[in-house]
């Protein structure tokens, strides 16, 4: 039974590497993961007698390169990739769970290594996959088969969030916060009106020329726009449930991210509706026509008020709809 979980975890790892197109997708760290998973699967199929499915850096290297190498530099680079994997793999949990559910796998992979006792330089460290079995609830919740002809969006991990926007992630829109935001908005409204009033009265009394009035009017408008910009974003986020993250609120290493307004399990007593929280996410998929990455962005003039999936290689033609609930998309161009 335990072997089944390991087998599922290894298969999940391979499917993940096939589908992942985000940051560092083509790097050796994911090839190392794939190699580990393939080695594990082969051993399990051959009914490896009791022995744990553990591999040295040389084994992993041989699997990636296709030939055995005793080179010290090669080994060191493999250890580096695996070290990166140890840091990165947990951040892909959402996508791994999705892949597991979609393929009826019961576990997702996590990567571990054992330090070599007395090995000194780490020559004999063993690398292995440990399956993390999914709970029944996690398993059934997202288990949907992708309809024929549709594309599947995966939730990618977000790293390198600038520290000044980190608070947005998991910001719960609890009752007092909504009241507070509403209060802030009223204040901003009063401030905005006050500014206009101030400017207008100054002009009335100072006998300024038309051009100066126009200039100050534009200045005030820009100031008011800056004050209201965050409220406007929040409003669209609340009503549309997801918006394209403006460039200022994007992780530094991503071209497209979204801010999602997600229902939590807590119910607000006064309304009976779930409390929502904000999170910065990145949905992505792979183009079935050209295998390039698809990113979710604003629909522009053509698909006004919608988020759509655009293929990075053919952004004008390979265009797909985007449904954040079902996480699927349909081709929007008829040939
Ligand atoms: Zn494409």
For 256-290, the pLDDT digits (tens) are 999 999 888 888 777 788 889 998 989 999 999 99
Residue 166 to residues 163, 184, 186, 250, 297, Cα–Cα distance (Å): 5, 21, 26, 10, 21
**Do residue 110 and residue 257 come from a single domain?**
no
Q: Which residues pair with 143 in a beta bridge?
A: none
The DSSP call for residue 155 is E
Q: Which of 116, 144, 172 is the last residue of a domain?
A: 144
**Do residue 125 and residue 39 come from a single domain?**
yes
Here the tokens at position 165 are 């926007």
- What separation in Å is there between the alpha carbon of 318 and the centre of ligand 1? 5
- What separation in Å is there between the alpha carbon of 4 and the centre of ligand 1? 36
- What separation in Å is there between the alpha carbon of 153 and the centre of ligand 1? 14
- What separation in Å is there between the alpha carbon of 118 and the centre of ligand 1? 51
Other CB atoms within a 10 A radius of the CB of residue 216 amount to 15
- What separation in Å is there between the alpha carbon of 288 and the centre of ligand 1? 7
- What separation in Å is there between the alpha carbon of 97 and the centre of ligand 1? 25
- Identify whether 280 is part of a domain: yes
- What separation in Å is there between the alpha carbon of 332 and the centre of ligand 1? 13
Per-residue pLDDT tens for 286-319? 999 998 999 999 999 999 999 999 999 999 999 9
| Separation CA 207–CA 202 (nearest Å) | 9
- Compute the average pLDDT of residues 14-21: 91
**Residue 208: its pLDDT value, please?**
65
**Do residue 19 and residue 123 come from a single domain?**
yes
177 or 140, greater pLDDT: 177
**Residue 36: its pLDDT value, please?**
93
**Do residue 238 and residue 102 come from a single domain?**
no
- What separation in Å is there between the alpha carbon of 290 and the centre of ligand 1? 4
262 or 203, greater pLDDT: 262
- What separation in Å is there between the alpha carbon of 296 and the centre of ligand 1? 13
Q: Which helix (DSSP H) or strand (DSSP E) does residue 29 occupy?
A: helix 28-45
- Identify whether 154 is part of a domain: no
**Do residue 314 and residue 206 come from a single domain?**
yes
**Residue 165: its pLDDT value, please?**
80
| Separation CA 84–CA 113 (nearest Å) | 12
Q: Which of 144, 175, 208 is the last residue of a domain?
A: 144
Q: Which pTM does this prediction carry?
A: 0.76
**Do residue 194 and residue 135 come from a single domain?**
no
Other CB atoms within a 10 A radius of the CB of residue 80 amount to 14
**Do residue 138 and residue 226 come from a single domain?**
no
- Compute the average pLDDT of residues 5-18: 93
The pLDDT of residue 87 is above 60: yes
- Identify whether 157 is part of a domain: no
Cβ-based neighbours of 11, under 8 Å, separated by 6 or more? 37, 41, 103, 105
Contacts 24+ apart (CB under 8 A), 141-150: 141/101, 142/97, 142/98, 142/101, 142/102, 143/101, 143/102, 143/104, 144/101, 144/102, 144/326, 145/102, 146/102, 146/328, 147/328, 149/330, 149/331, 150/328, 150/329, 150/330
3-class DSSP assignment, residue 321: strand
**Residue 1: its pLDDT value, please?**
54
Cβ-based neighbours of 220, under 8 Å, separated by 6 or more? 195, 196, 199
- What separation in Å is there between the alpha carbon of 180 and the centre of ligand 1? 45
Sequence-ordered alpha helix ranges (H) in 127-271: 136-141, 175-206, 210-240
Distance between start and end Cα atoms, the chain: 49
Per-residue pLDDT tens for 106-155? 999 999 988 766 554 555 688 899 999 988 666 544 546 788 889 999 98
**Do residue 175 and residue 315 come from a single domain?**
yes
| Separation CA 330–CA 242 (nearest Å) | 18
- Identify whether 309 is part of a domain: yes
**Residue 51: its pLDDT value, please?**
67
- What separation in Å is there between the alpha carbon of 321 and the centre of ligand 1? 14
Cβ-based neighbours of 150, under 8 Å, separated by 6 or more? 328, 329, 330
Residue 333 to residues 149, 319, 320, Cα–Cα distance (Å): 13, 7, 8
Here the tokens at position 124 are 């004999």
The pLDDT of residue 225 is above 90: no
Q: What percentage of residues in the chain have a pLDDT greater than 70? A: 92
**Do residue 24 and residue 99 come from a single domain?**
yes
**Do residue 172 and residue 114 come from a single domain?**
no
Q: Which residues pair with 154 in a beta bridge?
A: 284
**Residue 23: its pLDDT value, please?**
80
**Do residue 33 and residue 91 come from a single domain?**
yes
- Compute the average pLDDT of residues 31-54: 85
Mean pLDDT of the chain: 85
| Separation CA 4–CA 23 (nearest Å) | 30
**Do residue 323 and residue 175 come from a single domain?**
yes
Which residue range(s) make up the domain with 67?
Answer: 2-144
The DSSP call for residue 333 is -
- What separation in Å is there between the alpha carbon of 315 and the centre of ligand 1? 7
Residue position matching structure tokens 């594990």: 40
| CA 69 to chain CA mean position, Å | 36
138 or 96, greater pLDDT: 96
- What separation in Å is there between the alpha carbon of 96 and the centre of ligand 1? 23
79 or 207, greater pLDDT: 79
> What total number of domains does the chain contain?
2
**Residue 266: its pLDDT value, please?**
84
Among 100-104, 142-146, 218-222, the range scoring the smallest mean pLDDT is 142-146
Is residue 53 within 8 Å of 45, Cβ to Cβ?
A: no
| Integer-rounded Cα radius of gyration of the chain | 26
- What separation in Å is there between the alpha carbon of 249 and the centre of ligand 1? 27
- Identify whether 276 is part of a domain: yes
């Amino acid at each position: 039974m335990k072997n089944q979980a390991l087998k599922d975890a290894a298969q999940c790892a391979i499917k993940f590497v096939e589908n992942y197109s985000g940051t560092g997708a083509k790097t050796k760290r994911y090839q190392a993961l794939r190699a580990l998973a393939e080695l594990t699967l082969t051993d399990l199929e051959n009914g490896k007698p009791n022995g744990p499915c553990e591999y040295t850096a040389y084994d992993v290297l041989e699997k990636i390169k296709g030939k055995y190498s005793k080179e010290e530099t090669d080994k060191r680079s493999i250890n580096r990739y695996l070290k990166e994997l140890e840091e990165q793999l947990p951040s892909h949990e959402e996508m791994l769970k999705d892949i597991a559910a979609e393929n009826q796998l019961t576990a997702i992979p996590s990567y571990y290594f054992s330090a070599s006792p007395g090995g000194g330089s780490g020559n004999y460290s063993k690398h292995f996959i440990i399956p993390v079995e999914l709970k029944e609830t996690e398993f059934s919740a997202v288990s949907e088969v992708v309809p024929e002809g549709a594309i599947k969006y995966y939730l990618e991990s977000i790293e390198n969030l600038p520290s000044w926007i980190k608070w947005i992630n998991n910001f719960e829109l609890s009752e007092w916060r909504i009241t507070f935001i509403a209060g802030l908005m009223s204040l901003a409204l009063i401030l905005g009106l006050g500014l206009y009033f101030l400017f207008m009265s100054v002009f009335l009394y100072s006998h300024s020329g038309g051009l100066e009035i126009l200039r100050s009017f534009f200045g005030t408008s820009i100031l008011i726009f800056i004050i209201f910009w965050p409220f406007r974003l929040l409003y669209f986020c609340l009503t549309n449930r997801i918006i394209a993250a403006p460039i200022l609120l994007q992780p530094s290493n991503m071209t497209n991210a979204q801010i999602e307004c997600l229902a939590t399990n807590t119910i607000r007593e006064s309304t009976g509706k779930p409390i929502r929280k904000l999170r910065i996410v990145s949905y992505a998929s792979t183009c079935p026509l050209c295998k390039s990455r698809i990113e979710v962005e604003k629909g522009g003039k053509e698909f006004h008020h919608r988020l759509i999936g655009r293929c990075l290689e053919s952004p004008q033609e390979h265009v797909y709809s985007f449904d954040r609930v079902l996480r699927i998309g349909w081709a929007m161009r008829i040939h």
